[in-house]
Amino acid sequence: GAGVSQSPSNKVTEKGKDVELRCDPISGHTALYWYRQSLGQGLEFLIYFQGNSAPDKSGLPSDRFSAERTGGSVSTLTIQRTQQEDSAVYLCASSPSRQGAYGYTFGSGTRLTVV
């Protein structure tokens, strides 16, 4: 597609439930990133995929968070046993290169509200 697509755009879930957030990157972009942005805060790095390499999971806040990228394209971020502090906008971005020499293209995000 022309841009990075994320779904759903909004998700309200009950505390303790699992949620899955989806990201469709730009076709041909080998690098894919997940960030989280709480209300009024900056972007917090979560996880990064580059081609077939092992993902960089150094930003995942707890073992309740996991992500996968199938076929080098679509990615799913899963949050298990959601907590109220997980409420935030989850942003996905893709890039044609891992080296930071190209700008990232971000999706519009998924707004997650845990009630």
Partner 1 sequence: SQKIEQNSEALNIQEGKTATLTCNYTNYSPAYLQWYRQDPGRGPVFLLLIRENEKEKRKERLKVTFDTTLKQSLFHITASQPADSATYLCAPVGSGNTGKLIFGQGTTLQVKP
Residues that bind partner 1 (CB under 8 A): 4, 31, 33, 35, 41-43, 45, 48, 50, 56, 91, 93, 95, 97-109
Nearer to partner 1, 80 or 108 (CB): 108
Nearer to partner 1, 1 or 14 (CB): 1
Closest distance of CB 86 from partner 1, Å: 19
Closest distance of CB 81 from partner 1, Å: 27
What does the angle CA 59 – CA 56 – CA 54 come to, to the nearest 5 degrees? Answer: 155
Token duo for residue 76: 């799913």
Report how far residue 15's alpha carbon sits from residue 85's, in angstroms, rounded to the nearest whole number.
10
First-residue to last-residue Cα distance in the chain: 33
Token duo for residue 23: 């990201």
Nearer to partner 1, 80 or 104 (CB): 104
Phi, psi dihedrals of residue 85, rounded to the nearest 5°: -70, -5
Report how far residue 82's alpha carbon sits from residue 104's, in angstroms, rounded to the nearest whole number.
28
Closest distance of CB 23 from partner 1, Å: 11
Closest distance of CB 25 from partner 1, Å: 13
Nearer to partner 1, 83 or 113 (CB): 113
